[in-house]
Every structure is written in C-alpha cells, then in structure tokens.
Amino acid sequence: MCGIVGYIGSRNCVPIILEGLRRLEYRGYDSAGIAVLRDGAFFIRKNAGKVADLANALGRENGTLTAEVGMGHTRWATHGEPNDVNAHPHWDQHQQVAIVHNGIVENYMAIKTKLLRDGHTFLGGTDTEVLAHLIGVMFEECGDLTAAVRGALREVDGTYGIVVISPKAPDKMVVARKGSPLLIGVGDGENYVASDASAIVAHTRKVVYLDDGEIAEITRHRVRTMTIDDVTVEKQVQQITLELTQIERGGFEHFMLKEIHEQPETILNAMRGRLMVDEGDVRLGGLQNTIGKLLSARRIVLTACGTSWHAALVGEYMLEQIARVPAEVEYASEFRYRDPIVNIDDVVLLISQSGETADTLSALREAKSKGATVLGIVNVVGSSIARESHGGVYVHAGPEIGVASTKAFTSQLTVLALLTILLARARGMTRERGVVLAKELATLPEKVAQVLQNTQVFRDIAEEFKHCHNALYLGRGANFPVALEGALKLKEISYIHAEGYPAAEMKHGPIALIDKNMPVVVIVPKDGIYEKVMSNIQEVRARRGRIIAVANEDDTDIDQLAEFVIRVPRTYGFFGPILNIIPLQLLAYYIAVARGTNVDQPRNLAKSVTVE
Ligand code: M6R
C-alpha cells in the first residue's frame, strides 16, 4: 500500500528519497511523487506510474535538483483514480504546506464542503488534498506548522501516517500517525521518516516507532514527540536488525522466487529454539504470560485475511484434530462488523504477515474490547498487531517483499504446528506421540528443499497452460485450504481466474465448468482419504478435464490418471500443507513468468492493506 519517505539534513535528499521510494515499491502502488524545499519554495513532481518514471522526469527536467529537506510518496489509490493530479504530495490553497499521506480521511467530504464554501478550489479528488488545505488554513491562522498539524488532525476522522513540510518553516518536518505505521530514522545531524524500515535502513538502524495519536517535530538535530494536545512523549530509540541483503533479490529474477527458495531456512527459523524434539514438546516464549489463558480457553478463534486466513484454516484442522481444542476461523474483515460473540474465556488468534492489515487490526481491537485474550502470529517485528496483542509468536520469516505471500505462509503453518503440539502435550498427549510429531516437523525443511530441486516440471506445465482462462484447485481435509491458497497465488500474479474447492464439493457445482480445456490441480497425498480423492479425479477425467496432481513420491497409480504429476515427499497428514503448497507457489510463479506479468508487483494489489 502507500509508502512514505522523508529526509532533513545536510545531504542532497533527492537521491535518498528516490532510493527510499524504490525500496517501498514492493508494497504496491500506482503513482509516485516528491516534494523538496528549494530557494524558499516547493519543488514538486508527481506522476501516475512507477518511481522510475518519476526519476526519469526529474532527470529530464532538472538533473541537478538538490535540496536538504524533502519527502516522497508512492500512492495506492483509494479516493480518486490513479493519475498525476491525485498522486501525492498535495498542497494547500496558497502553496504554503505540502503533505504526503497514508490512510483515509473518512470525513473529508464534510471538511471539503466547508472549505469550498470558504472559496477553496481543489485540483483532484483525494481526501489528502482536503487535509492539505485544512492544515494550510490553520497554518495561516497560527503561524506554527506543528500547531497547525495538531489543530487540523483534531478535526479529522480516519487513519493517517503523514509528513508535512513548508517553505515558511524550512527547518522542520512535522509527522503524525494514527492507524498507518510511521517510524523516524535517527541519524547524525540528519533525520529520516518512513512508513517502513526498508526505505531508510541503508542510512540508519536507529529508529523511533511512532504510536497511534503521536505527532513528531523533526529537525536536523532533534526529534520532539508529543500528543495531539501537545504533551511531550518520551520515546525510546530502538535498533532495527534488518539487513540490506534481506531486501535485495540476491541473484534471483524475482523476489517471489527468492522467497520461495528461502523456505527451507525460514521454516527452520520458525522452529529454532522452540521445538524440543527429544522431549516431544514445544516452548514459545512469547506466550509465557498468556499460557494459562490459552490452556483454559473455551475455544480459539483464528482470524486473518488472504493468505494468512488460509493459514488459519489449516490451523483449525491442526488444533481440533491433534490438540482437540475447539477452533473457529473468521475473515477478519467480517469479524468486526457482525458483533461477534466473544467472551473472556476465548482466545482470539490474529495471523498476519505484515502485522498492519487494517481489517485484522480492527478484529484484534474488537476482540480485546470484549475481554478476550488476543494473541498474534506475526512476521513483522514491532508491527501494530504484535504490539497490541497480549502475547504472540513471531514467525521469523524475514522481510517478505513479493506481494504474493509465500514464505510467510509456510512459517505461519509451522508456528501453528508448534502451537498445536504445545497444546496437545499440555492436554494429555503422551511424550512418545509428541516425539513422533516433533521429529516429523523437524524433517520438513529438508523435504521442502527436495521439492525445490526440480523446477523443470513447473516450466513444462506453465508452457502448456499459460493461455488458459480458468483453473480449478481441489484438495480435502487440511489440503482444502492449500487448494484455496494455490488458486489465490495463481490469480494474484498471473490474472488467471482460479477457484479452490474441497474435492468432494466439486460435484455440487463446479463440475459444470469442466471440459477439455480446464486444468484441474489436485492435491492427492497418500493419506486416509486418498481413495476418495482418486475417485474425484476420475470424475474430472470422465469429463476430459486435464489433471495436474501433487502426489507422493511412491504413488504409481496417479500416473495413470494425471497428465502431469508433481512429486512431494510423504509427511504426517497435518504437516502436509507445508510441503504441498510449495509446488503450487512454483506453478503460479512459472505460469505468471510465461505470461509476462509483473510477478512481484501484480496490478491493483498492495503488500500490506492498511485501509479497510
Ligand atoms: O499482512 P497480512 O498477512 O495480514 O496480509 C493479509 C493479506 O492481505 C495477504 O495475505 C494477501 O492476501 C496477499 N496478497 C496474499 O498473497
């Protein structure tokens, strides 16, 4: 989603801002812009399209542009179409302030109506331009930029991460956060602001995370943090551990491919220091303070969006069938608005890669307000969901840059497997049984590495099916969510319409779609329902559907039925999804590459969806 980077110091901020924007591209965006202070005035450029287009335009127009204060933005359109005018930065009626903004001003129409009555004219259709005008009005009234921002934000409903600069206050940036992440990078005689650490990690590792409701006045040598009522807030400077190599492609053609191949290591990282194979048990430090609540929970409600929701569905199978804990899964986007029945003896488990997904964060707050214990399974350290949860487990997958989530998913599943073993043991599972499960879980990184060894089969399938318009993904039990996730991966990056279904449900409707052109991807491990899935495959074949099977290495029967067979090692049933999703990620990837789509930044998608 939208990205922000800003700089104040004594170096030329233009390359710093452009580089920061490039590092934020992975979040997904449709326009980009920059505003700097130069010779007592603004220099602003913005355009629909990519950061490269912006850099080219700057190079053409003013190759020697230098400035010591400035800010940049990548916009993912919410209000107003993605064009040059609606791109950020925006400015006020008299060009005294410029603003970049992540989030949504919900009451912007009411504010705009009033400003229009006062004679203001607007260039575009965004909520942000309205906020710029409002700050401009307050600035004219009080002459203090920080006070003007505070005053304007008092009138705003909605969410924001903003940076405001003015040629009339050339030695500061004013930034504020409510609902959209913002951090300040602390340098020596220079300071930065960004919506995401990756934008500034090349320059500083010292950061201050703003909390909701906080405003900061940033000069070259000082950061003053305050509330909206001007009460000073003392903040801790924290050290970020992110390495530059983690946010670079490292020889892979795409971040998504790099991240798929990182999975043997990221799955291992999710277990490291937590899985005690010899004891058949698990230790999760982040749950220390809430373990009593977890063990006595009446039920666990898992809630999330997108890929993380698919992980939750797998988690439901694991928790109910291995640990025998009642579990339910909810879309986070639905949870909040249906006045859910949640009690103090419920545990609500939020799953999120970014830890910033607005719907998931709202579900967390809803559950918390009803007295439930809320726990997070999160990747991004220090993110909002991690900070607002009573406890939780980091998945330690490292930065995920590809918009289509891959390694975060398998790490989420690994943490859910760990949680399941922990709860199962606490609820009476024998040590022997725990050891069997723990040993099997420990083999998964090696087994995933095996699946990743041969990618030729995926290239062959991609060549065969790259022109198809639809695809069906089938699986049963814990592999049903894998079918959903495989279908999601394909549609996200190749734009082929794909549906995931429980294999046996196919005959209740989707079977009508099957003809000789329909690829049907079936996950068919040798488990207790193998024969049933084989029957479903026969049903597809009888209608001349084209079968791509994800099957175990020792399955010879499948060769008779499937046009393509992708082999995966055997594993214990509920850990199967961790292995079976890998071929589906690769399949989506190679089909997208064969179709020539933008794999890492698919159209219309954002990495972290911070609006509802
Ligand atoms: O950061 P989160 O895990 O909360 O994000 C949830 C979804 O937005 C995300 O999984 C989305 O569906 C991805 N594009 C999936 O590839």
Ligand 1 centre distance from Cα of residue 375 (Å): 18
- Range from 50-54, 384-388, 604-608 carrying the lowest mean pLDDT: 604-608
DSSP secondary structure letter of residue 89? P
Q: How confident is the model at residue 395 (pLDDT cuts 50, 70, 90)?
A: very high
User: Measuring from atom 16 of ligand 1, which residue has the nearest CA?
Assistant: 404
Question: CATH top-level class for 2-245?
Answer: alpha beta
pLDDT digits (tens, 9 = 90+) for 547-579: 999 999 999 999 999 999 999 999 988 899 999
Distance CA 159, CA 534 (A): 50
Q: Which atom of ligand 1 is nearest to the CA of 408?
A: 3
Ligand 1 centre distance from Cα of residue 312 (Å): 12
Q: How confident is the model at residue 608 (pLDDT cuts 50, 70, 90)?
A: confident
pLDDT digits (tens, 9 = 90+) for 295-308: 999 999 999 999 99
Distance CA 103, CA 45 (A): 21
Is the pLDDT score of 257 beyond 90?
yes
To test ligand 1's pocket by mutation, which of 309, 364, 609, 611 has the most ligand atoms within 8 angstroms of CB?
Answer: 609
Report the pLDDT averaged over residues 282-291.
94
| Region of residue 579 (left: phi > 0; alpha: psi -120 to 50; beta: else) | alpha
Catalytic residue among 2, 13, 178, 407: 2
* CATH no. of 452-600: 3.40.50.10490
Question: What is the reported pLDDT for 116?
Answer: 97
Number of Cβ within 10 Å of residue 605's Cβ equals 17
Task: Let me know if the fold of 2-245 is the same as that of 452-600.
Answer: no
Ligand 1 centre distance from Cα of residue 1 (Å): 11
Distance CA 248, CA 251 (A): 9
Length of the chain in residues, anyone?
612
Report the pLDDT averaged over residues 150-173.
96
Catalytic residue among 258, 447, 489, 607: 607
| Region of residue 213 (left: phi > 0; alpha: psi -120 to 50; beta: else) | left
Is the pLDDT score of 593 beyond 90?
yes
Going by C-alpha positions, the residue among 353, 398, 462 that lies closest to residue 240 is 398
To test ligand 1's pocket by mutation, which of 260, 313, 349, 354 has the most ligand atoms within 8 angstroms of CB?
Answer: 354
Q: How confident is the model at residue 510 (pLDDT cuts 50, 70, 90)?
A: confident
Q: Which atom of ligand 1 is nearest to the CA of 605?
A: 14
Is 607 part of the annotated catalytic residue set?
yes
DSSP string computed for 476-545: -TTHHHHHHHHHHHHHHHH--EEEEEEGGGGGGTGGGG-STT-EEEEEE-SSTTHHHHHHHHHHHHHTT-
Q: Mean pLDDT, the chain, as a whole number?
A: 94
Report the pLDDT averaged over residues 30-41.
94
- Kindly report whether the global pTM for this prediction surpasses the value 0.85: no
Question: What is the reported pLDDT for 240?
Answer: 86
Is the pLDDT score of 76 beyond 90?
no
To test ligand 1's pocket by mutation, which of 405, 584, 589, 609 has the most ligand atoms within 8 angstroms of CB?
Answer: 405
Q: Which residues line ligand 1 (CB under 6 A)?
A: 305-308, 352-354, 357, 360, 403-405, 492, 605, 608-609
Residue type, 289: N
Please list, residue by residue across 169-186, b when 16 or more beta carbons sit within 10 angstroms of its beta carbon and e when fewer do.
beebbbbbbbbbbbbbbb
Distance CA 374, CA 367 (A): 7
- State the helix-helix crossing angle for 127-142 and 108-117, rounded to 10 degrees: 50
User: Measuring from atom 14 of ligand 1, which residue has the nearest CA?
Assistant: 404
pLDDT digits (tens, 9 = 90+) for 194-230: 998 999 999 999 999 999 999 999 999 999 999 999 9
Going by C-alpha positions, the residue among 132, 135, 55, 138 that lies closest to residue 101 is 132
- Residue ranges per structural domain of the chain: 2-245, 249-442, 452-600
User: Measuring from atom 4 of ligand 1, which residue has the nearest CA?
Assistant: 352
Is the pLDDT score of 147 beyond 90?
yes
Fold (topology level) of 249-442? Rossmann fold (3.40.50)
- The 3-state DSSP class for residue 346 equals strand
Distance CA 203, CA 150 (A): 29
Q: Which atom of ligand 1 is nearest to the CA of 406?
A: 16
- Range from 95-109, 144-158, 165-179, 595-609 carrying the lowest mean pLDDT: 595-609
